[in-house]
Structures are given as structure tokens and as C-alpha cells.
Amino acid sequence: MVTFLAGGTGTPKLLDGVDAAFDPAEVTVVANTGDDVELGGLLVCPDLDTVLFAGGSILDRETWWGIDGDTTATHDELGRLAEAADLSGGPRYLPPDRQTAGRRIARWRRFSGVAEFMEIGDRDRAVHVTRTSLLDEGRTLTEATRTLADAFDLDVTLLPMSDDPVATIVHTDEGAMHFQEYWVARRADPAVEDVEFRGSHAADPTPAVRDALDAPVVIGPSNPVTSVGPIRALPGVDDALTETPVVAVSPFVEDEVFSGPAADLMRGVGLDPSTAGVADAYPFVDAFVLDDADGTDLDRPVVRTDTRIDDAADARRVVDAVAAALAEVA
């Protein structure tokens, strides 16, 4: 058994090659849900969905978001209606008293569907309708995710990090905003001053997640702050990671990040945006996988390879390095 912590695109890209060293039937993926939003009444879970769509062989691999070849008729019509009705563009947060009303799982991240600020494809939307309807029927997010994973014929076990609400709030020089506003609507432009995982202290990892953290853990080349941070913010997770072998793949080559806002977010929370900063952020990690060109000197075992992942062959190469690193510390 082995467990991967997934958020953003780094770990999902790594999972493309998981069968190089691991039996997918023995792999559990714990996905970040701090990035989730309720948009127009539908619960959208970007990090869960990236693993769902990749495992179902329908992911748009140009954007690593949504379904390949999807249409956007509903999204386009929402924009047209907002413009015709002279309604301001999104993101449009629901009023403060509505942020903690309605579905508990959607607290602190509830947006109006007017002028939808995230592009949701038509087939993609069907997933959100199904998930939200299952929740309204009384299922947990874990149960709804299991149903969707079966529909997409996933080889791995996919778990949300919690069935409780946790919202990633980025505090910036322009005010506090949900991560999706910061990243999607604002293109990571505001300067980051801090990051909050609202609700995390009152949330719990599910029993399935606790069991998964008893196995060796792999952290892919994901953003340490907003992709992995919400999982770690749950009570007991860091303690569990201290007690099990953990290997992490750096999302940096020294101080150059492969993609995304990791550097700005790390700088904003007081971490050096570099492989060294990732090691400081992960004191529980037993070994690291670094790029061949990364000369960072760490105080823990290191396995080096070309860590850029552009396709499944790249992913298999990095997974082989992960397995080698686990063999050193398991």
C-alpha cells in the first residue's frame, strides 16, 4: 500500500506513471478540498476532479482542468445573460450570512452563478450536478467521490481529505479572497501576505484518510502551501506523517518553480521559494526526489532524476525515483 497526497497538477501528473512501481489497486490518493467552491449552487472540487478525469482518460491535458473537448454552452450563456442584464462580472460572493447557511460542506466559499467566473464545461457540469445531488440526498463527500470514481473506472482509491468544510483563504494586499478568486479570477496578481485554512481546526480527516496515512506516503511536485497545506492543516495529519515513511518530489529546481503560484505563496507565508524552502516546510519528509540539475544540499536522503513531467513516460521515470527513495527509508 502507498498513499499519494494530491493537489493542483503536480501529483496528478505523477500519477500518470504510478504503475511503473506500484500496483494501482494498492494506491490511495488523498485529495485537497480546500480549493473547492460552491458555484451557482454546485459543489466544484477541482483537485478531486483532476484525478477523476485523468483516471477516466478524459482530462484536458493542455489545461489540466476540465474534460477534453468539452463544450461551454451553459457557461457562455451565463456570461451573455449577465452582460445583457447589466450584472457585474464575477466572482460574486454570496452575502456573509449566506456563507455559513445552506450546505455545511460549502462554508466560506459560496459564489453566485451570475457571470460564472470559473469556466465550467457542459460535461464537467454534469459531474458537479451529480456530486451535489448525492450530497443533498444525504451522502458524505467521501461516499459521493467513491460513486463518481466507480463511474470513471478509477484504478486507484480516491479520497477527499475530509467530509468537513475547509476553505483556503489567501490574504493579500488587496484583501482576503478564496484561492479560486486569487488564482483563477485574479491570475495570482495580488501580493500574498498570508494563507488561512478556514475551518481546518474544527474539521477532521475521515477514518479512511487516517487509515491511508498509516501507509508510506508520497507527496508529488505540488504546491506546498495551497495544494498540500490544507491536508496538513487537519488535526493529526502532521503527526501521522511523522510516524510513516514519506517521500516528496520538489516542485522546484533550486529556486525555479516548474509551474503555478508556489513561489509567490511560499514567499507570502515566510518560506524561501526554493527546494530548500520545501524541505523546511516538510520537516517530516524522510527523503526527497530532486531534479538532476538541482544542487540543493539537504540533510536527508536524495534521489535525483529529471523531474519535469510532460507525459506518461516522464511520470514513470519520476515514479521509479520515488520508489527508490522509499526503498531507502521504508
Dihedrals φ, ψ of 160, to 5°? -70, 150
| β-strands 37-39, 42-44 pairing | antiparallel
| β-strands 110-111, 42-44 pairing | unpaired
Could you please report the per-residue DSSP string of 80-137? HHHHHTTPPPS--BPPHHHHTSS-GGGTT-EE--TT-SS---HHHHHHHHHHHHHHHT
Dihedrals φ, ψ of 224, to 5°? -65, -25
Across the strands, what pairs with 5? 30, 219
CA distance 130 to 133: 5
Chain centroid to Cα 87, Å, comes to 31
CA distance 188 to 260: 9
Establish whether 86 is an annotated binding residue.
no
Dihedrals φ, ψ of 148, to 5°? -70, -40
Q: What distances in angstroms separate CA 196 from CA 177, 202, 240, 256, 265, one per listed residue?
A: 10, 14, 21, 25, 11
CA distance 262 to 182: 13
Binding residues: 49
